[in-house]
Amino acid sequence: MSRVPSWVVALCLTGCSGATLPPPTVVSVSPPDRAASSSGPVTVMLDAVLPTFADHGASSVSVDDRLTLRIGPRPFGPARWADAGVITDFLPSVLPQGSYDVTVELGDGRLSTATDAFRVTAGAWPVGYTIDTIPDQKSNIPFGVTIRAQGAPDGGYGGTVFLSVPGATVSPAITGSFAAGVRVELITVTVDNPGKYHLDVSDLAGRPGRSLDFRVGQ
Amino acid sequence: MRPSPLPALLTLALATSAQAAPVVEAEPSRLVLGPRARAEITVRNAGAGLHAVVSTGTLTAGTSGEDFTRFFWTPAPEARAPTLVLFAFWTGESPTLADVTVLALPCAGRTELAIETEPTAQVTVEVAGARFGPRRADRQGRLKLPVEVGPHAHEARVIAELADQSKIRVLPLSLPPSPWLIGLAPESSVEGAPVHALVVVPDTEESAGTELVAEGGKVEREQEAGRRLFLRVTPEPGRSAVPLVARTLDGSVRAQKTLEVVRAVGPAAEPAPPPPPPPARWVLGGAVGGYVGGGSNAGPQGAFVVGYGLRNLPVVLELELGVRSQSLSTQVGTLGVQDSTLLLFPVELAVRWEAVSLGTFRLGVRAGGGLLPGSHHLSSNFDASLGEAVLGWEVFAAVQAGLRVGSVEPYLEVRPALSKVSTDHLEARPGGGVFSVGVRGELR
């Protein structure tokens, strides 16, 4: 009868206990495709075992809920696991036409990629944008601006535009979705020097828009 | 005038060969009943297992020698009537008539005859050849004359002589019949087995016919020689006694006896020496209870225990196969509720020392340790479930107190235990204080 080597017992004592956690899984992306000129919420459903440690002596459980989710190169969703892995976030019209991987990474480094899980189709863009007159503003004080898409296809433009104020910083950098070709956005402009500034907008296709100058004081 | 001697009445009774039968003689060969009446019966040529039966009176064993056996016979105290006493002797339990010796001992009764005859006559009485008198009658012709009447007498002849005249009168004698003899071989029936019944009718019997009636038994005639019968009596099932009656064909009972039915008694079974106890003993037991180890290290537990030890040592080596369960459920931030369930199947070896044994009370001490294989399950309402195998360890010491009840021993155990189960996802100590109620018994 062969004798079980002692190192086998030791290996078992250390290695037969515990489990390696499986990688996370992207269960679904909804909607799975969208036109490049549209924006709106996207839902990514995830399945994962979060890194968990149960301490029965302390009657406590700790869970590492850190989460990194990307659609293509763009970060998506919160930085923490939420809503039982059903992640919904606003995706502006910033992705050109093409197929994009959806990548999820947990706090312990487990990573999973759903290849070509999100597809962006060709968009229908307006010819340009106008911005209603902006009265004088104060730096770092939010105010509203109305942006109008010109020459949009039927149904109006539903995408987003990039915002910029030359010589100053503006937040947010991307608007929300246009509705029927119009977007009223609450923005904050921060300037170092009071003076006259203007707001530039542009979409992914490069169609521009520019406001009249307006004064931003301290 | 004395009665003439009676013919020898020693009867070595056998019409057939008496070669195997005992030789019997009586001294005296005839008796007159009275307070001092006694006869000495000597039996020769008898082997082992001599049986002796008498029709009336008492037969007691006397001195015996190498070649003889002696009995003494005495009549019943109130017996005064003439009778012919029958004795039967044989050896063995299955005799035939040829094996039986029958002796008839005549016993005479003494009485006083009241006679009326001619005045002053000289009177002589003859009874069965014996003469009594002469004696003279008084002037009224009356006299009383003592006589002895043997069992064979039927009449008394009264001879009255006066001058040259002689008158003879015959007086009939009415004697009670002599009892018959019933002997049984063997003397009792074992489990209803048939027995041989010997019936001997005295030659004084005047009524015709002989029959043996058994109440609750079957009678079959086996052998007959003259007035001697061998019958086979078979008790009916369930009978404890069978009354036997020997009677004439007109129904007059002449003898009675009871056949006892006994249960078979085997030879006294010598108590078998107790088999030497096997040198080893096996103990089987089980226990249930719980454990508390701090925090969520608590839950129910149970165990099955197999023990092996040497009978002459108060130490038992035990293998314990158990089960334990504990769980934890807690809220994790805003994520949701996380459950952690641990199920273990301890496999442990222990040594139990039976330290104290006072009456039925037992106190034992245990020490041991082993492995705690099992599974750990994580589940929540916010992420996927996880199952993992776990392997922990435990060392322990324990105290047991039990009561011996028959072949089993219920007991209580308190076990301080140091244990640990650890993985990347779990830290548990499923021991601490382990409490059990159990019972065990030794295999015989």
Identify the CA nearest to A80 among candidates B334, B384, B386, B381. B334
pLDDT of B269-296, one tens digit each? 566 677 776 788 899 999 999 999 999 9
B124 has a chain A CB within 8 A of its CB: no
Identify the CA nearest to B87 among candidates B96, B75, A94, B78. B75
pLDDT of B380-389, one tens digit each? 999 999 999 9
A154 has a chain B CB within 8 A of its CB: no
Q: Considering only the beta carbons, identify the residue of A18, A56, A62 that sits closest to B328.
A: A56
Contact B228, B16 (CB under 8 A): no
Q: Do B333 and A17 touch (CB under 8 A)?
A: no
Q: Which of B331, B342, B385, B425 to substitute to test the interface with A, most A CBs within 10 Å?
A: B425
The answer to whether the peptide bond before residue A31 is cis (omega within 30 degrees of 0) is: yes
Residue A19, pLDDT above cutoff 60 = yes
User: Which residues pair with residue B280 across a beta bridge?
Assistant: B310
pLDDT interval class at A8 (50, 70, 90): very low
Amino acid letter, residue B228? R
Q: Report the percent of chain B where pLDDT is more than 90.
A: 35
Report the half-sphere exposure of A72 (CA within 13 A, side-chain side): 15
Q: What is the pLDDT of residue A84?
A: 92
Q: Find chain B residues with C-beta within 8 A of A84's C-beta.
A: 336, 381-383
Query: What contacts 24+ positions apart, CB below 8 Å, involve B10-15?
Result: B10/B103, B11/B102, B11/B103, B11/B104, B12/B101, B12/B103, B13/B100, B13/B101, B13/B102, B13/B103, B13/B104, B13/B228, B14/B97, B14/B98, B14/B100, B14/B101, B14/B102, B14/B225, B15/B225, B15/B226
Identify the CA nearest to B307 among candidates B351, B347, B277. B351
Residue B16, pLDDT above cutoff 60 = no
Q: Do A84 and B382 touch (CB under 8 A)?
A: yes
Residue B99, pLDDT above cutoff 50 = yes
User: Which residue of chain B comes nearest to A25, CA vs CA?
Assistant: B384
- Mean pLDDT across the stretch A141-163? 92
**Residue scoring higher pLDDT (B319 or B221):** B319
Q: What is the pLDDT of residue B8?
A: 35
pLDDT of A172-204, one tens digit each? 999 999 998 999 999 999 999 999 999 999 999
User: Which residues pair with residue B207 across a beta bridge?
Assistant: none
A141 has a chain B CB within 8 A of its CB: no
Q: What is the pLDDT of residue A119?
A: 97
- Mean pLDDT across the stretch B58-85? 85
Contact B258, B243 (CB under 8 A): yes
Q: Find chain A residues with C-beta within 8 A of B336's C-beta.
A: 84
Amino acid letter, residue A47? D
Give dist(CA B224, CA B19) in Å, integer: 18
Residue B177 per-residue DSSP state: P
pTM here?
0.55
Contact A102, A82 (CB under 8 A): no
Contact B414, B442 (CB under 8 A): no
pLDDT of B31-56, one tens digit each? 888 888 889 998 888 777 788 899 88
A123 has a chain B CB within 8 A of its CB: no
Residue A211, pLDDT above cutoff 90 = yes
Contact A89, A82 (CB under 8 A): no
Contact B323, B344 (CB under 8 A): yes
Tell me chain B's radius of gyration from C-alpha atoms.
Answer: 49
